[in-house]
Amino acid sequence: MRIPCSLTIAGTDPSGGAGIQADLKTFQEIKSYGMSVITSVVAQNTTGVQAVHHLPVEILRNQLESISSDMPIHAFKTGMIASKEMMKAIADWIPEVSAPYVMDPVMVAQSGDPLIEEESRTWLRDQLLPFASVVTPNIPEAEDLLGKKIETTEDMQIAAEEIVTKLGAGASLVKGGHLNGKAVDFLFDGDKIHSFSAERIETKNLHGTGCTYSAAITAYLSQDCDLVQAVDQSKHFVTAAIRSSFNIGSGSGPTNHWAIREEAGHK
């Protein structure tokens, strides 16, 4: 029996709402066997980031080789990659793996704290991003990647196309959480635009939503869903997680990773 296996390459979140911890929770809920490679150990909670320690690049390489030499990888994602040297190590490793790659271009935390060195952003855009099967930026991240403002849904669709046609990604999902109105995301799959809409949920508890969304896409891709189906199911997953988010901590609380089970009646 084939067991779907998903790998996350990202930083930690000891509060459990974002990063590696959120990714593994998401993989588990979607029934994909979760594996992790840690890039940075981050001291953070719902109020922000207090400290960051980046692991040595050689340890990153060792983790990647340990997994790919022994375990099946049916899909993988990256989140926080702090330095150009880390990105180079991942780019060197990617050709060893024949699996969909979901890039969540994490640059700042939900709190606004920077998580990636400024000089690394250009390398991520020009060298690592073209390896991605799909990139999942929110509007500020898409603006950073393209160097222009995104203010309307039309701008979002153009941005999704340009991340593919100009920057070289296989596909691009531009998320509309930062605009007013319905929460609409646009996927350009290299051929056409697809839209995914959900009600906007008024809550401050949005910690880790980007990690959770991209992890869900990864998990569904590991199960051989096509990209449009994977994004559609992931949109439902993250919307349920936001709808039932937890008011834990003093800042932006975490989403509820088991909400989709509760809504299906499996409490």
Average pLDDT per block of 10 residues along the chain, 267 residues long: 96 96 98 98 92 96 98 97 95 96 83 70 94 96 93 95 98 87 91 94 91 98 98 96 92 91 67
> According to the model, what pLDDT value does residue 109 have?
61
Report the candidate in 112, 114, 123, 115 with the shortest Cα–Cα distance to residue 145.
123
In the block, residue with structure tokens 């459990």: 16
Residue 194 tokens read as 């697809």
Secondary element (H or E) of residue 101: strand 101-103
> According to the model, what pLDDT value does residue 115 have?
65
> According to the model, what pLDDT value does residue 110 have?
60
> According to the model, what pLDDT value does residue 238 have?
95
State the total domains in the chain: 1
Is the distance from CB of 174 to CB of 139 less than 8 angstroms?
yes
Separation CA 37–CA 213 (nearest Å)? 18
In terms of C-beta density within 10 A (0-12 exposed, 13-18 middle, 19 or more buried), how is residue 142 classed?
Answer: buried
For residue 127, give its domain range: 5-136+206-263
Is the distance from CB of 43 to CB of 50 less than 8 angstroms?
yes
**What type of residue is 110?**
Q
Separation CA 36–CA 221 (nearest Å)? 17
Domain assignment present for 73: yes
CA distances from 266 to 29, 144, 239 (A): 12, 41, 17
The pTM of this model reads 0.95
- Looking at residue 97, which CATH number applies to its domain? 3.40.1190.20
For residue 173, list its beta bridge partners. Answer: 187
Domain assignment present for 50: yes
> According to the model, what pLDDT value does residue 118 have?
75
Domain assignment present for 90: yes
Residue 181 tokens read as 């109105």
Domain assignment present for 218: yes
Order of strands across the sheet that contains 33-38: 33-38, 5-10, 75-78, 101-103, 134-135, 172-174, 183-188, 193-198
> According to the model, what pLDDT value does residue 120 have?
86
> According to the model, what pLDDT value does residue 107 have?
76
Domain assignment present for 69: yes
